[in-house]
A and B are shown apart, each in its own frame.
Chain A
Amino acid sequence: MRLKNIPVATWASLLVVASGVFLTSCGGGGTGNNIPFPVVTLSPASASVAAGAPLQFTATVVSLTNTTITWSVNNILGGNSTVGTVSTSGLYLAPASVPNPATVTVKATSSAETNPYGAAIVTITAPVVNAAVAIVPLDASILAGTAVQFAATVTGTDNSAVTWYVNGTAGGSSAVGTISPSGLYQGPTTVPNPATVVVTATSQASTSDSASTTVTLTSSNTAPLFVNFGLNGNTGNPNTAHYNGLFTTIKVCLPGTPICQIIPDILVDTSSVGLRVLDSALTIVPATELGTVKDSSGNQVEECVQFPDTSYTWGPVVVADVVLGGETASAVHMQVMGDTTFPVPYSSCLSLGSGPSLDTVAALGANGILGIGNSLQDCGLNCAGGQTFSAYPYYVCPNYVCQAAPLPVVQQVANPVAFFTKDNNGVEIILPAISSVGAPALPYANADGTGLIPAGQLIFGVGTEPNNGLGSATLYALDTNGNFPQVVFDGFTYSSGGSLNTAANALYLANPLALGILNCADNPYYCPGSTTPISLTTYGANGASGTVVLNIANADLLFADNPDFSAFNNLAQESISGLSTDYFELGLPFFFGRNVFVGIAGTTVPNSASAPNGYVAF
């Protein structure tokens, strides 16, 4: 193409910028002597572009003779896959990965006589990736010194490589455990403090994208304690959500064999005694394979247990080896929840109150209940005969007709802790302190590994190991009913006393209405105008007394502010009907930030206190 000469003075006004290709100047007049040196300029003159992304250049050619231009990248005509390509229209396409060096030069070169060119510096950056990282397994617990293999899945990018961190340190450390490039976590040989560490996998393609989970280290006499909504998750409805659910993981084995099943999500309950596992949860170790407990006539023993809220479970009493943490209770009697052989005896079992059956995951929100209260067996002498009483929990079903029956103490469902070979006189329950606004769960860590809230610890034995000494805790001997003999609140003595119950999701308090604390309008909890501290004085049967300060928050505000949170240390509700004989049942909120001991009746008490009915200490 031939361009007409134009006066220099008019060039600027006549420039026509054709997208990326060239400029054609047309005009008339002027002389050859005035023809300027041809000029090519590129726009933009410098730019950054993500690998694999396009970038449009515009070349402006000022020439009277030739406006044809050619495009190159690093002087390679049209570029290539390493440095990126550029089309005849100036569309630059960055290479799929960042070249080395990461800057390239894009040129538009004129075919005019002096081959003038315009150049732009392009920096190729790592591609913007919205990578999502996921880790399995979640919230593992392992014995100190053992290992667990993690796997990370990266989506949103072709680069699946991750970098592993433990507590924010790439590769971890000997104190908190190490992790290999392939995700094999090797726990430290001693339990760190806190016992929970955070494992983080960060996408190498996009270092701002990561996922984290926790590992809780246990020692030979500890098991992890988790707080969450349980297997039914967050229902989003304060009337049905299982706030402050306390869970652990157990192992159940066929007696005397290595055939075992690890079962997570077992409710931890200091208000009951004995292990009860859903029939449906016993898959590797089926209930039918476990040892049976029979009466003298050879009838399988069944049990109907009614819980304090009138819910119940019905199922056979069986024999299993039960492993908690590193301790084993051999041939301990436990209950299978749910029975397909014998129907629930409606006339007696269900006349006791008749709440819902807990014998499904949907009803229980867990795989079972670990009762670690203050006695050896769930019933004791009252169920062992000598008296006949329709409220016996034990039944036999000759000819498929189930009748309440006495059962010798040694055959009853037993506290597995009491059947360990050591560390068998009780437990210590340690839950970390949490914020007054609550916590999502225990354990918990943000995706980037920050914000660790450790799991709790269930420690077996009281005063039997370096990790379970009573220390300065006050020991409260329980009365014959298993309660604090009395509780004093707001100047009034409550002679029904109270108890500590890990399975209760709130603080059940008597008569806070006297302090102006009102019930919420649409859920069962308290809704004071602002968080209100209360002070209780608890008494032991051994004469001990102490002050317990608790906070009552507005439950509506707690739930509204953090609808995903499951753990609250200030969730409370009315114990009974505001009557003066009420009973104080201090549920899980009491346990956050405390070390609480539960001593089993009849065991050796560490400090020689008199506690024939067992004790609690904190």
Chain B
Amino acid sequence: MGKGSLRKRRRGSMIDRYGWRSMKTFCGVLLILMLGAVPMWAALGEPESTVSADGQFLRGQIRDEVHQGYRLHQITDPSGGVIREYVSPAGKVFGISWQGPFVPNMQQLLGTYFTYVQQYAQAQTGRHSGPLSMQKDDFVFTCGGHMRWRYGRAYVPSLLPTNLSPEVVQ
């Protein structure tokens, strides 16, 4: 399935439901939310409750899907980037992925795991480009892409629901 078609369909339904005015309002509110210090969506390894507590506008932007063995929350940011959060039946975010023109705020997305990325990335020298992949303790992370298009993925193996492959985080 092409990501492009998925994105178009999602955007279309949102505009249909809320109209352009709501879209603009949403963007403004999202900005305020994103500039704030408090994570506005669930961070990796944390409970799903932060997602549902995010309020009406964010929920409006989130597409929720129920899959065999996990739930998926999909957020489209104002640049068209897509962030996906994978939640286990136990209610924990076990995986996160993103794709789009910009890198999302990883500090918010990764929560306490952000430190791992920071420490690993800062120890890297001798390379300027190319993706970054790391695995430390119970944390798997990768990001890459190029200017105007970034992708990345992170998951916590121990939080993966039983019988679920890391492949679902994509």
Question: Which A residues are closer than 8 A to B by beta carbons?
Answer: 232, 235, 239-242, 267, 269, 271-273, 305-311, 347-348, 351-356, 358, 363-366, 369, 371, 373, 375, 378-380, 382, 387-392, 479-483, 485, 495-496, 499, 501, 503-506, 508, 574-577, 579-581, 583, 585, 587
Contact = CB atoms under 8 A, between A and B. Distances in A.
Q: Interface centre among B102, B114, B150, B166, by most A CB within 10 Å? A: B102
11 contacts: A307-B128, A308-B143, A308-B145, A309-B124, A347-B37, A388-B27, A481-B99, A485-B2, A508-B144, A579-B170, A580-B170
A355 B151 CA distance: 16
Nearest to B77: A389
A351 B131 contact: no
Given A309-B129, A503-B128, A387 B27 contact: yes
Contact of A576 (B34, B131, B149): B131
Given A388-B31, A389-B31, A311 B108 contact: no
Interface in B74-133: 77-80, 99, 101-108, 114, 117-118, 121-122, 124-133
Contacts of B153: 576-577, 579
A508 B131 contact: yes
B21 interface: no
A574 B126 contact: no
Interface of B: 1-4, 27-28, 31, 34-35, 37, 77-80, 99, 101-108, 114, 117-118, 121-122, 124-133, 135, 140, 142-151, 153, 166-167, 169-170
Contact of A585 (B114, B122, B144): B144
Contact of A352 (B80, B106, B140, B145): B106
B146 A482 contact: yes
B130 A388 contact: no
B118 to A, nearest CB: 5
Given A391-B105, A501-B146, A355 B132 contact: yes
B121 A579 contact: no
Contacts of A505: 127, 129-130
Nearest to B80: A382
B148 A379 contact: yes
Interface majority SS (helix, strand, loop, mixed), chain B:
mixed
Contact of A388 (B4, B28, B107): B28
Given A351-B108, A389-B78, A583-B131, A240 B126 contact: yes
Nearest to B107: A351
Nearest to B81: A391
A368 B72 CA distance: 42
Contacts of B103: 306, 310, 352-353, 391
Contacts of B151: 496, 583
Contacts of B77: 389, 391
A479 B150 CA distance: 14
A432 B3 CA distance: 37
Contacts of A496: 151
Contacts of B133: 574-577
B124 to A, nearest CB: 6
Interface majority SS (helix, strand, loop, mixed), chain A:
loop
Contact of B4 (A307, A356, A480, A579): A480
Given A309-B131, A352-B102, A354-B121, 8 more contacts: A272-B146, A309-B128, A309-B129, A348-B35, A352-B103, A387-B78, A504-B130, A577-B135
B105 A390 contact: yes
Contacts of A355: 118, 121-122, 124, 132
B60 to A, nearest CB: 17
Contacts of B149: 481-483
B126 to A, nearest CB: 4
Contacts of B106: 310, 351-354
B168 to A, nearest CB: 10
A310 B143 contact: yes
A241 B146 contact: no
A389 B80 CA distance: 11
A96 to B, nearest CB: 52
B129 A504 contact: yes
Contacts of A308: 129-132, 143-146, 150
Given A308-B132, A351-B108, A352-B106, A580 B125 contact: no
A479 B145 CA distance: 14
Contacts of B108: 351
A371 B147 contact: yes
A363 B125 contact: yes
B132 A354 contact: no
A363 B1 CA distance: 40
Nearest to B97: A581
A356 B108 CA distance: 19
A321 B36 CA distance: 40
B122 A391 contact: no
Q: Interface centre among B1, B128, B133, B153, by most A CB within 10 Å? A: B128
Contact of B129 (A271, A351, A356, A483): A271
Contacts of B132: 308-310, 355
Contacts of A271: 129, 146-147
A242 B126 contact: yes
Given A387-B27, A390-B105, A577-B135, A378 B147 contact: yes
Contacts of A587: 129-130
Q: Interface centre among B124, B140, B146, B170, by most A CB within 10 Å? A: B146
A485 B153 CA distance: 19
